[in-house]
Amino acid sequence: MSEEPHADPVTGTPAGQALRDRTVIESVRASLSLLTKRDRRLFRLASLAQMSLSVLDLAGIALIGAIGAVAVSGIDPNALPGPLDQWKDRFGLSALTASQLIGLLATTAVFLLLLKTVLSALITRRMLYFLANRQADVSARMARTILSRQLLEVQRWSTAEVLYALTGGVSAAITSLLAAALIIVTESFLFIVIGVGLLIVDPILTIVAALFFALVVYFLQIWLGRASAKNSTIQANRGMSTITTVSEALTTYRETTVLHRRDFYVDRFDRLARESANAGATNSFLAEIPKYVLESALVLGGFTLAIVQFLTKDLAAAAATVGLFLAAGFRIIPALLRLQGAGITIRSAAASARKTYELAFWFQLRDGSGERGNRISKKQALAVKERIAAGHGDFFAHVEVSGVSVTYPGADRPAVIDANVSVSLGKSLALVGSTGAGKSTLADVILGVVDPDSGSVTISGVSPREAVSTWPGAVAYIPQTVGLTEGTIRENVALGLPDLSIEDSMVWQALERAHLADFLRDTREGLDTIVGERGVRLSGGQRQRLGIARALYTRPRLLVLDEATSALDAETEQAITETLRELEGQVTTITIAHRLATIRFADQVVFMRHGVIESRGTFEEVRASTPDFERQAHLLGL
């Protein structure tokens, strides 16, 4: 279980370093790598469509330049440039007066420029919806990929990091960054098209103007890009810290209230919110700076151009050149603003998407990989219900653990060492030992949520993951602390199952066995009772019983319990214990126990210390062979 991150597929360097050193181009490539091949192809086609519209801009600008020359010819009929005169003859416009020709040219220019704007807006709108849908797709595929990995990989990241990466980070990587990349590509092509046209008219003037604006844009990009990326990093970090702060405040609400320390979280939240807001305001102001700078550059450049042209050329040529370059300038400056803004957006979005890139590369979600989720069909939903009702058919709840060893990343010693355990169909196994003995780790390996460094585990002859995918619901788990969703009792008992798969009579049966049915029948809502976020509307014992009902709902053949009755009163615990004993012979059970009374009649007891199985046998056999276990049993009066 290596702690080293996967290499960045874009740069080939370790993920952390690559994310710090990532260039604009690499950021775009990283975002594109999250898309499927088909989606990348569609993105490129949209870019080509936008780029092709630049031809309309060039035609409109050329016509505006011609208007200046025709206007001068109204004063001096001989001033019309030869190429334009030939153009009039070719299209049969020689009979038109100067004013009529100006009107025709102006109308055509306006039509072409408006057409370009309308078509560009339509393509942009379509592209934004496309990217929004891709954002949702990438988020779903990332979530599916992360949740399919073993527990140790998932626990490498905090809840706040994963939540941000799947929401704000993906939004920055797909919608913000790729939309900005599209702007850069199309506007850059526009500059090329217009630049080629202007080079034909006046190469020297075109080169001088290009260098002038390139220097302005370059220095703006360097300064604003760095400042924007810095502020976006602050926003992203503060966003994740804010999520963590709120979660901690709600989790420790009782303790902070009693200790009168609630202001600690309020003050932290206030500080984080202010820092994030200030960083956002700074970025908003930075986005406005290019507009003022480039507008000033256009005014200064246009004034200088007019003076030079009218002093060095004849009236018609000067008018045509000034008109052409000013028309080009009025089309290029907005494009430069969009280009500048897009460059800043990419730097900013890349900083915001850093955690998304990191998680995607760590979990190997690249080149559009990752299973695409499909909604469960009505037929599949009914099949799930039938499978549960049928009792999982050919599933054979025999567990075989062979030579399993596990070492957690960064740990000094293994959590489990060469464990060998066999549990036959319908038998019960209890894992006992002090805290840190390796009981929960061994149970996690059996459940398939942790992969062993060596050794193997089979359930019904296959790996745990294959078992749960082949026979969904045949294996169930009851944790010590039950995690509940913010939904109804029905939804929590049938966790994750579609509505068509839920049978209310089976839900009530599971609640009966968990001794929670009477409480719910006394309430008006029944199965529709809302449990609240993390089950806040239920007592600790009720949450525990709801977790037991959830495990029993699918009628499992293998049941793993982690101190599942610890939050229950003595009477309810006894009733639940009797319910579980009724399953003996039908259901294989593996119990992690601290309260020895609950496993006194287990078929096999395994005592662990420092990851090693020291003894095994019946309760009395382990008691006789293990002084520590005997001492615990004696203290409990057993």
In this prediction, residue 381 carries a pLDDT of: 62
Is 398 within 8 Å of 459 (Cβ atoms)? yes
* pLDDT tens-digit series, residues 241-263: 887 787 777 777 666 766 667 77
Per the listing, tokens 């464990």 go with 419
Q: Which spans in 148-202 are helix H? A: 151-154, 159-164, 170-171, 177-201
Same domain flag for 423 and 284: no
Residue 22 CA to residue 28 CA, distance in Å, equals: 10
Q: State how far Cα 504 lies from the chain centre.
A: 35
In this prediction, residue 445 carries a pLDDT of: 92
Same domain flag for 551 and 415: yes
Is 197 within 8 Å of 54 (Cβ atoms)? no
Closest by CA position to 222, among listed 398, 460, 24, 431: 24
The last residue of one of the domains, among 331, 362, 393, is 362
Residue 12 CA to residue 8 CA, distance in Å, equals: 5
Residue 575 CA to residue 427 CA, distance in Å, equals: 20
Q: How many domains does the chain have?
A: 2
Per the listing, tokens 């004013």 go with 99
Same domain flag for 408 and 490: yes
DSSP class of residue 488? Answer: B
In this prediction, residue 403 carries a pLDDT of: 93
Longest dimension (CA), the chain: 120
With respect to residue 199, please indicate whether it lies within any of the assigned structural domains.
yes
Residue 442 CA to residue 124 CA, distance in Å, equals: 54
With respect to residue 31, please indicate whether it lies within any of the assigned structural domains.
yes
With respect to residue 376, please indicate whether it lies within any of the assigned structural domains.
no
Residue 566 CA to residue 582 CA, distance in Å, equals: 20
In this prediction, residue 562 carries a pLDDT of: 84
Same domain flag for 412 and 489: yes
Structure tokens at 621: 């056999």
With respect to residue 462, please indicate whether it lies within any of the assigned structural domains.
yes
With respect to residue 49, please indicate whether it lies within any of the assigned structural domains.
yes
* pLDDT tens-digit series, residues 67-125: 765 665 554 444 455 555 556 666 666 666 667 777 887 888 888 888 888 888 888 88
Same domain flag for 275 and 393: no
Same domain flag for 353 and 405: no
Same domain flag for 616 and 557: yes
With respect to residue 622, please indicate whether it lies within any of the assigned structural domains.
yes
Structure tokens at 61: 């600008």
- CATH of residue 188's domain is 1.20.1560.10
Regions of the chain short of the pLDDT cut 50: 1-21, 75-79, 367-374
Same domain flag for 292 and 391: no
Q: Which domain holds residue 606?
A: 382-635
DSSP class of residue 96? Answer: S
Same domain flag for 339 and 406: no
Structure tokens at 62: 């050329």
Structure tokens at 235: 């926003």
Structure tokens at 568: 């229950």
In this prediction, residue 190 carries a pLDDT of: 78
In this prediction, residue 405 carries a pLDDT of: 94
SS3 for 565?
coil
Same domain flag for 312 and 448: no
The last residue of one of the domains, among 315, 334, 362, is 362
With respect to residue 7, please indicate whether it lies within any of the assigned structural domains.
no
Same domain flag for 314 and 463: no
Is 594 within 8 Å of 567 (Cβ atoms)? no
- CATH of residue 479's domain is 3.40.50.300
Residue 569 CA to residue 587 CA, distance in Å, equals: 25
What's at 629, amino acid-wise? Answer: F
Is 198 within 8 Å of 65 (Cβ atoms)? no
Closest by CA position to 544, among listed 500, 575, 583, 498: 575
Same domain flag for 464 and 511: yes
Residue 188 CA to residue 50 CA, distance in Å, equals: 11
The last residue of one of the domains, among 362, 392, 425, is 362
Structure tokens at 268: 């932290």
In this prediction, residue 6 carries a pLDDT of: 43
Concatenated DSSP letters for 110-160? HHHHHHHHHHHHHHHHHHHHHHHHHHHHHHHHHHHHHHTS-HHHHTTS-HH
Residue 444 CA to residue 438 CA, distance in Å, equals: 10
Q: Which residues contact 378 (CB under 8 A, 6 or more apart)?
A: 500
In this prediction, residue 577 carries a pLDDT of: 73
Per the listing, tokens 């999520």 go with 243
Residue 73 CA to residue 66 CA, distance in Å, equals: 11
In this prediction, residue 21 carries a pLDDT of: 44
Is 428 within 8 Å of 593 (Cβ atoms)? no
Residue 12 CA to residue 6 CA, distance in Å, equals: 9
